[in-house]
Amino acid sequence: MKVFYLIWLGLLLSTSVSGQKKMVIGLAFGGSPEPGSITTLAEAQANLRPDTVRMVDFTGQNLTEIPSIIYRFVNLEKLFLGKNQLTAIPRQLGRLKRLKALSLTENKLDVRKIKFRRNHHLKILNIQYNHLSELPASVARNRNLEQLVAGNNDFTSLTGRRLKRLKNLRELNLYNCKLTSIPAQMGKLKKLKLLDLYRNQLETIPDALVQLPQLEVLALSYNRLDQLPAEIGKLGKLKELYCHHNQIHQLPQSITQLENLRLLDISYNWFTEVPAPITALSSLEELNISNNQIQLLPVSLTSLTRLKRLNLRDNPYSESEQARIERETLLKRFRDMQAMVLD
């Protein structure tokens, strides 16, 4: 599997050889530390110019509490404390007035001991892999939070009144949180551009979700959905829609209004025919309809003149002579358009 790190604090796309994409957002680790960064407690103690330190990375150092020595670094912007034994986020952390990015992934955080002070400086927070039973109330005190990585926890459900306070969120990762429902208040996150709901237990998506005017990437894959919101076409800026591995058998007609949609993945669902609305998606560049129950490929698919990648694999296509001729004609047209076709 190839992994492309697009930005160190942002979208991570893992692309397999089959062409299927898994989308995760979060803080990427690894590589060389930034110049002037602190990576051990000994370095922190020996540093003679604490005002010059912008990054501290204490990942995997078996810490049971946040070391008080970090408060020397008054200009600290990035703090990595992942893979430790931390149980609490103390109020004192609010003393770091320039802190923009905080990672606490893979610790043992106790939701009752997460004590953020109200602030306007923290932009990015990673609390995934902590077995949290709910989204901590004090997370909403980070008034200018733009990226929240809270996946791989045990939320089951979300408290809407906490969520709606995160009005500046651009990216929200709730990957693999065992969620069975999404609160309607999520529709209050008007600046949200990326929403990752992969691998939950959702059977429905609230209509309020279509009230996100800035949303560009929506990931609903690996859930239990049998339909998409009827008014999904209101997501006018949506560019990528991932809903593979569900139980969807038709698309809402309003999807034709998604004039900016570049990628649509509806593989591993229950479609018995290519949904007619797809042919109206004039900006579509990548389409995956593999692993459904589709028997015929309509010639109207050739109206997708911008298509660069088409995955048709593992469908029970009809073997009648007429169907075979039409399918081969269709595939030839796409290849003449220099599209990559997987059939």
With 0.75 as the threshold, say if the pTM is over it. Answer: yes
pLDDT of residue 86: 98
In a domain, 21, yes or no: no
Domain CATH code at residue 102: 3.80.10.10
Residue 322 lies in a domain: no
29 assigned to some structural domain: no
pLDDT score of 326 = 87
CB atoms within 10 A of CB 64: 11
Tell me which residue has tokens 């034994």. 85
Show the tokens assigned to 328: 């081969």
Quick one: DSSP state of residue 152?
S
First to last CA, the chain: 20
**pLDDT computed for residue 21 by the predictor:** 42
Q: What is the pLDDT of residue 13?
A: 34
pLDDT at position 268 is: 98
Counting the structural domains of the chain, the total is 1
* 92 part of a folded domain: yes
| Confidence at residue 200, expressed as pLDDT on a 0 to 100 scale | 97
Residue 252 lies in a domain: yes
Q: What is 312-342 written as a DSSP string?
A: --S-----SHHHHHHHHHHHHHHHHTT-EEE
pLDDT given at position 31: 47
Q: Is 17 inside any structural domain? A: no
* pLDDT of amino acid 117: 96
> What's the pLDDT at 26?
41
CA separation (Å) from 16 to 3, 13, 264? 8, 10, 16
Residue 326 within any structural domain of the chain? no
Domain that holds residue 211: 35-305
18, part of any domain: no
Give mean pLDDT in consecutive 10-residue pieces for the chain, a chain of 343 residues: 29 34 42 75 95 96 97 97 98 97 98 96 98 95 97 92 94 97 96 98 96 98 98 98 98 98 98 97 97 94 94 94 89 88 86
Eight-state DSSP code of residue 223: S
